[in-house]
Amino acid sequence: MEFVIRKAGYEDIPGIMAVMKDAQKAMEHPEWFCSDREEYMKKHIETYGFTIVAEPVSGSSLAGNSLTGSSLAGFFLIKFPGLSEENLGHLLNYSEEELQRTVHMDMAVVHPSWQGNGLQSRMLRKAEEVLADSPVPRNRLLATVHPDNRYSLHNMQSNGYEIVKTAVLYGGLPRYVLQKIL
């Protein structure tokens, strides 16, 4: 299956929201995922980070299919938390300089119709490429995964992320905190 993996633009917001809505409806374990509102997603197109999307190449069996509710197959939200209290680096006792270099690999969602195509890993690698080309050095990559979400955990660990802490986050939900230093 062929996909274009690219940075999202504001025109992708409806597709991103449709992917999130459809994925959440299909989830066996909704506690694994914390969804967000459209306004939050808009802020992460350029202001507070960036977003990577996976778009099926025209001619793919489900590309643009109305059954999927979206022309996108998935998205990966990348967040620059800076010195904010929500920076996961505080849990790891990062210095102020390290907090400034921290990136949250915040949210990866693949539409149920496209799961099984390795899109989470592909979008993650594209995000890391974008970060490597950034003029602002950001080399401390952090993510959270529900301990029972073996798919996301496997994807992150296969891409060099290591579990560095177990914490209760997002209003009482258990999470592994994973780290990769570039």
Each residue's pLDDT tens digit, 113-134: 999 999 999 999 999 999 998 8
Whether 63 has a pLDDT exceeding 50, the answer reads no
Contact between 118 and 5 under an 8 Å Cβ cutoff? The reply is: no
What value does the mean pLDDT take over residues 66-79? Answer: 77
Interatomic CA distance for residues 175 and 144, integer angstroms: 6
Whether 145 has a pLDDT exceeding 90, the answer reads yes
Q: Which residues contact 13 (CB under 8 A, 6 or more apart)?
A: 38, 41, 42, 45
One-letter amino acid at 39 equals: E
Tokens of 9: 């633009």
Interatomic CA distance for residues 53 and 38, integer angstroms: 15
Q: With cut-offs at 50, 70 and 90, classify the pLDDT of residue 70.
A: low
What value does the mean pLDDT take over residues 72-99? Answer: 96
Contact between 181 and 141 under an 8 Å Cβ cutoff? The reply is: yes
Q: With cut-offs at 50, 70 and 90, classify the pLDDT of residue 73.
A: very high
Q: With cut-offs at 50, 70 and 90, classify the pLDDT of residue 65.
A: very low
Q: What is the pTM of this model?
A: 0.87
Q: With cut-offs at 50, 70 and 90, classify the pLDDT of residue 166.
A: very high
Tell me what percent of the residues of the chain surpass a pLDDT of 70: 87
Farthest CA pair distance, the chain? 49
Interatomic CA distance for residues 27 and 144, integer angstroms: 18
Q: Which residue has the higher pLDDT, 179 or 39?
A: 179
User: What DSSP element (H or E) covers 38?
Assistant: helix 38-43
Q: Residue 132 carries which DSSP code?
A: H
